[in-house]
């Protein structure tokens, strides 16, 4: 029997990309999964993939909404516990960037965009985690945050995104140190380029997105960009106490080797 059989999991931002791939993997392992996103059509597609992976209809809860909305965050946790009776794992995956001011220097971009990036990538993580903790204490559960290697790069096209993504790293460490006292493990995964529609969602064209991924694949030591399932497997590992109990406040860099490349000797 899988560790996740009958476990209850929330995966934010699961209507596409990493969140979808992760939700499907949890469903395949027998978990009861709450999936959520802002697009009803793509959220239905995620549900269908979960069902195709072996989940029962009654074990998938769809909740349409925006995680930056405080009332929705409360609804997300409450509805999950009301339907399934508990909560074992919270995956804070939802996040994103903006192409509105791509390429501008950090001091040339309106502060309003910084606020937007913080709302989308930081505040909602804290808010949903606060709501989830009382339930995770009862199950000795886990929180897995999804950040980005942008947290540690000079990300010229998206400086506010990089700044916002640095916060979840420290949040993971602070939460881990605090919550382990209550039996809750907190860890994070920081992906590099992953083949999703996130660039288009941020305001780019499909052609711009394809060009970015093609370029990334050419410079990655692995020889390809990641796919959602690559990151989903790491998330499941971090959430699985039977395999990763010793990991507390750990930040897994999942970037196909980009972080080991030298700026001075890029071909080495």
Query: Does 263 map to a domain?
Result: no
Domain of residue 155, CATH code: 3.40.50.720
Query: Does 259 map to a domain?
Result: no
Number of domains into which the chain is organized = 1
- Residue 161 bears catalytic tag: yes
Query: Does 2 map to a domain?
Result: no
Query: Does 264 map to a domain?
Result: no
Q: Give CA–CA dist 193/254, Å, rounded.
A: 9
Query: Does 133 map to a domain?
Result: yes
Find the largest Cα–Cα distance for the chain. 55
Tens-level pLDDT at each residue, the chain (268 residues): 799 999 999 999 999 999 999 999 999 999 999 999 999 999 999 999 999 999 999 999 999 999 999 999 999 999 999 999 999 999 999 998 887 888 788 899 999 999 999 999 999 999 999 999 999 999 999 999 999 998 887 666 778 888 999 999 999 999 999 999 999 999 999 998 888 776 556 566 777 667 766 766 677 888 888 899 999 999 999 999 999 999 999 999 998 888 887 665 666 6
Q: Residue 210 sits in which domain range?
A: 8-253
Query: Does 175 map to a domain?
Result: yes
Query: Does 28 map to a domain?
Result: yes
Nearest to 54 by CA among 13, 25, 92, 15: 25
Nearest to 19 by CA among 189, 167, 208: 189
Query: Does 237 map to a domain?
Result: yes
Which residue in the list 151, 161, 175, 201 is annotated as catalytic?
161
């Amino acid at each position: 029997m899988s560790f996740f059989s009958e476990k209850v999991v929330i995966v934010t931002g699961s209507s596409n990309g990493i969140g979808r791939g992760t939700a499907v993997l949890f469903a395949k392992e027998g978990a009861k999964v709450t999936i959520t996103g802002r697009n009803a059509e793509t959220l239905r597609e995620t549900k269908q993939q979960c069902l195709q992976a072996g989940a029962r209809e009654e074990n998938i809860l769809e909740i349409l909404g925006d995680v930056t909305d405080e009332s929705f965050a409360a609804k997300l946790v409450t509805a999950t516990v009301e339907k399934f009776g508990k909560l074992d794992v919270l995956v804070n995956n939802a996040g994103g960037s903006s192409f509105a001011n791509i390429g501008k220097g950090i001091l040339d971009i309106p502060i309003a965009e910084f606020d937007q990036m913080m709302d989308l990538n930081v505040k909602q993580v804290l808010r949903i985690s606060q709501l989830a903790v009382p339930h995770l204490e009862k199950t000795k559960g886990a929180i897995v945050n999804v950040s980005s290697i942008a947290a540690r790069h000079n990300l010229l096209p998206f400086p506010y995104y990089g700044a916002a993504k640095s916060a979840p790293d420290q949040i993971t460490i602070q939460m881990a140190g605090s919550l382990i006292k209550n039996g809750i493990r907190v860890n994070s995964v920081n992906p590099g380029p992953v083949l999703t529609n996130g660039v288009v969602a941020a305001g780019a064209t499909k052609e711009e997105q394809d060009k970015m991924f093609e370029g990334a694949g050419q410079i990655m030591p692995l020889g390809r960009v990641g796919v959602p399932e690559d990151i989903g497997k790491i998330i499941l590992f971090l959430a699985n106490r039977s395999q990763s109990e010793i990991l507390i406040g750990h930040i897994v860099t999942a970037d196909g080797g980009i972080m080991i490349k030298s700026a001075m000797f890029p071909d080495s």
